[in-house]
Amino acid sequence: MGLRSPLDRKTGARRRSHQNPRHDTKADSMAFGHLHEAPLMAKYLVTGGAGFIGSHLVSALHARGDSVVILDDFSTGSRANASSLPPSVVLMEGSITDPSVCGRATEGVDYVLHQAALPSVPRSIEDPIATNLVNVTGTLNMLIAARDAGVVRFVFASSSSVYGETRELPKTEAMPCTPCTPYAITKLAAEQYCQAFHGLYGLETICLRYFNVFGPRQDPDSPYAAAIPIFLRLLHAGKPPVFFGDGSQSRDFTYVANIVRANLAACSAPREATGGVYNCACGNRVSVREAAEALQRLLGTSITPVTMPERPGDIRHSHADITKARAVLGYEPETSFEEGLAETVEWYKSA
């Protein structure tokens, strides 16, 4: 693949973004000008598309008629998710740590939804080198490939962990970031690479800071699983939920359908939105104890939780201000915590 100058890449990407407009513009629905116009039958690359969040994005894109390519090495993604995909979805098995794989995956792609990562704060503390290789070097590989392929827009899955243990709530994008774990550091470094590629090469990038995502297809059996799927697995087996601390820690638990909406909104947001970072959450706080109690009500159980010492790197409270995402991206969390929890429980019972 031949290299082009930064100016060629910039003008090429912008020229492609106006071909075959699919959406009517809605000038009065955004804080900035007009909606970005996505091409008819746009081609999307979802890295980590066999994973929890990625597979939901793939399903949504396919349902509305877009062409979808998945890049996944199945280090954390699920082959069961991949096997249930429609035949028209193209699956590439490979790692974002391989630049040649990234180059092949981005050929002819309009939008990259970059979900692939090595997740988990505890895992990053145990193996910071592996986390950095995937989350930083892998993201850089994808940005270079997207730049060289003339991709229209690159949407990056970041994390609320970048804020660190700041006392101020809710978290706003204007706050200084003080990441305190290798995982959080890698996500912030990847954000900064996205912003640099936007400024230097004209690649349209948007970074979405996810807050405590949960929902169907989330793996409860991983040693690095999140709180809600772990609670579900334990309670369903008649075992007590485990709190690391007293359970008063709070999170802005966000149902996965809201994260899908945020990614789709980022793809059609006005060009002025690019280069920015945006919180993606519900804008509410629920304690870990309250989440476990809500699950017990839905499951009809009453099991006394077990408490364990707090884990290194765990943030005490997390609560998002989503004003910016609402105003600039047109994002709106349509599924509440309670609704999402009920849907998750029903899926888990039937899985």
Q: What is the dihedral of CA 324, 258, 204, 37, to 10 degrees?
A: -100
Most distant CA pair in the chain, distance: 63
Using a 10 angstrom Cβ sphere, with 0-12 exposed, 13-18 middle and 19 or more buried, the burial of residue 302 is: exposed
Catalytic residue among 183, 255, 278, 331: 183
- CA-closest candidate to residue 113, choices 320, 278, 260: 260
**183 in active site:** yes
Rg (CA), the chain: 20
* DSSP 8-state code for residue 275: T
Distance CA 167, CA 6 (A): 41
Token readout for 189 is 């470094």
Distance CA 217, CA 240 (A): 22
Give the residue numbers annotated as catalytic, written as ranges. Answer: 183
